[in-house]
Amino acid sequence: MLYQTTQEHEAFRQKMREFAESEVKPIAFLMDQNNEFPTEAIKKLGEMGLMGIPYPKEYGGAGLDVLSYAIAVEELSRVDGGTGVILSAHVSLGSWPIFAFGTEEQKRKYLTPLAKGEKIGAFGLTEPNAGSDAGGTETTAILKGDYYLLNGGKIFITNAPKADTYVVFAVTTPDIGTRGISAFIVEKGWEGFEFGDHYDKMGIRSSSTAELIFNDVKVPRENLLGKEGQGFKIAMATLDGGRIGIASQALGIAQGAFEHALEYSKERVQFGKPICQQQIVSFKLADMATKLRCARFLIYSAAELKEHHEPYGMEAAMAKQYASDISLEVTNDALQIFGGSGYLKGMEVERAYRDAKITTIYEGTNEIQRVVIASHLIGKMPR
Ligand code: CAA
């Protein structure tokens, strides 16, 4: 199994790093403080052809591989976890289901502007009563001739209300469980489609997150994505890929915090020598570096499996679960190395510590990742 980066991957990483350092890092503190979306940086990413990294050029993408996409999310997250998830939610959740399940017409109409970065994408699955139990979806889409009437709402939607295109899941046949759920492409601006307030979050504050509210929204029949009743499987398959993105985000956040802590530990002198020469700090740094390397291998190997069209759901869940767990540990250790100074607003490690937490929660909590991994090992457990 391949999981090594090539020279091209590392050149691409360098390009992403330069972009992140010059366009995102200088504004990261203020975006965090002001709950502000990096509008200009995202526009520039689009102009550089980087909003559709893994999609074919014929649909406006960069035609690069899944590993390049993982590297891009990692490098953005190394300086700002919020910017990392904007790209991840756009590419993995807002665009991929259209690429994988859309008709040729849907791909031309919706995927192409998403991949070119002219539009932003989002994914509407979570509801107040359907979080980990995504099959508990209550939003309905009832067929009325040539359109579906969409009613209900979604919560915690990354990229809303900035996004233009939403892949939304709704019940088209009640009382038959997950097989009654269908997927739709819904456009911002349609009558009856509104947004709740932008959430005031603990971390990833440069990313926008809001509720979607549907009141008798007329969704044209041609905006059904895949077949009726296929929606839950589309959602699950999409999340398999999305988890590579979130794992990369978690890794990038932790990598950034680690680098700051390493540098600081070489400068900070206590007991007559730099603290990195105190064995307890050096061992902490050694453990942090080891965890980062393990997470990177897990993520890159899952990305390579996806790239080669091999089953990768279990490996993506392992990567997401492990990378986000160690992201919390590594950012915690990084802050510990900084001591009291790390606890101050304006310090990168303080922001990284807050940004890391969400990665254990969204795109399936880490408890759900273990459900997914276990079900691959021993089959689905009875309810
Ligand atoms: N790919 C394709 N099909 C799949 C699948 C997959 N990965 N996983 C399950 N399915 C199919 C099953 O084969 C089954 O098909 P049949 O009906 O033909 O038998 C069907 O889907 C139902 O599967 P389950 O019975 O296993 O479903 P379940 O109700 O027990 O749920 C679960 C399983 C894994 C817990 C699922 O509900 C889940 O993943 N929950 C977490 C939801 C989640 O990750 N939400 C994140 C929201 S998005 C987000 O967070 C984005 C963000 O902010 C950035």
CB 2 within 8 A of CB 28: no
CA 274 to chain centre: 37
* Each residue's pLDDT tens digit, 270-315: 999 999 999 999 999 999 999 999 999 999 999 999 999 999 999 9
Q: Does 328 have pLDDT greater than 90?
A: yes
CB 124 within 8 A of CB 165: no
pLDDT at 364: 97
Q: Please provide the DSSP assignment of 95-144 as one string.
A: IHHHHHH--HHHIIIIIHHHHTTSS-EEEE--BTTBSS-GGG---EEEEE
Residue to probe by mutation, ligand 1, list 232, 306, 324, 375, most atoms within 8 Å of CB: 232
Task: List the one residue out of 83, 92, 85 whose CA is nearest residue 23.
Answer: 83
Percent share of the chain, pLDDT over 90: 97
β-bridge pairing 165-171 and 121-124: parallel
Ligand 1 neighbourhood includes 80 CB (under 6 angstroms)? no
What does the alpha-carbon distance between residue 324 and residue 381 come to, in Å, rounded to a whole number?
25
Nearest atom in ligand 1 to 237's CA: 1
What does the alpha-carbon distance between residue 302 and residue 314 come to, in Å, rounded to a whole number?
9
Ligand 1 neighbourhood includes 313 CB (under 6 angstroms)? yes
Ligand 1 centroid from CA 289, angstroms: 33
Q: Interface pTM (ipTM) of the complex?
A: 0.98
Q: Among this protein's residues, is 350 annotated catalytic?
A: no
Residue 2: band (very low, low, confident or very high) from pLDDT cuts 50, 70, 90: low
Nearest atom in ligand 1 to 134's CA: 37
Q: How many CA atoms lie within 13 A of 334 on its CB side?
A: 30
Ligand 1 centroid from CA 233, angstroms: 7
- Tokens at 296, concatenated: 């990177």
Nearest atom in ligand 1 to 246's CA: 54
Ligand 1 centroid from CA 369, angstroms: 11
Ligand 1 centroid from CA 211, angstroms: 21
What does the mean pLDDT of the chain come to? 97
Percent share of the chain, pLDDT over 70: 99
* Each residue's pLDDT tens digit, 147-195: 999 999 999 999 999 999 999 999 999 999 999 999 999 999 999 999 9
Ligand 1 neighbourhood includes 127 CB (under 6 angstroms)? no
Ligand 1 neighbourhood includes 229 CB (under 6 angstroms)? no
User: Closest Cα to atom 22, ligand 1: which residue?
Assistant: 178
Ligand 1 neighbourhood includes 233 CB (under 6 angstroms)? yes
Ligand 1 neighbourhood includes 236 CB (under 6 angstroms)? yes
Q: Does 380 have pLDDT greater than 90?
A: no
List Cα–Cα distances, 62 to 42, 67, 95, 117, 146, in angstroms.
15, 13, 13, 11, 35
pTM metric for this prediction:
0.97
* Each residue's pLDDT tens digit, 31-61: 999 999 999 999 999 999 999 999 999 999 9
Nearest atom in ligand 1 to 383's CA: 30
Residue to probe by mutation, ligand 1, list 126, 204, 233, 240, most atoms within 8 Å of CB: 233
* Each residue's pLDDT tens digit, 4-28: 899 999 999 999 999 999 999 999 9
Ligand 1 neighbourhood includes 155 CB (under 6 angstroms)? no
Instruction: Catalytic residue, from 259, 348, 363, 367: name it.
Output: 363
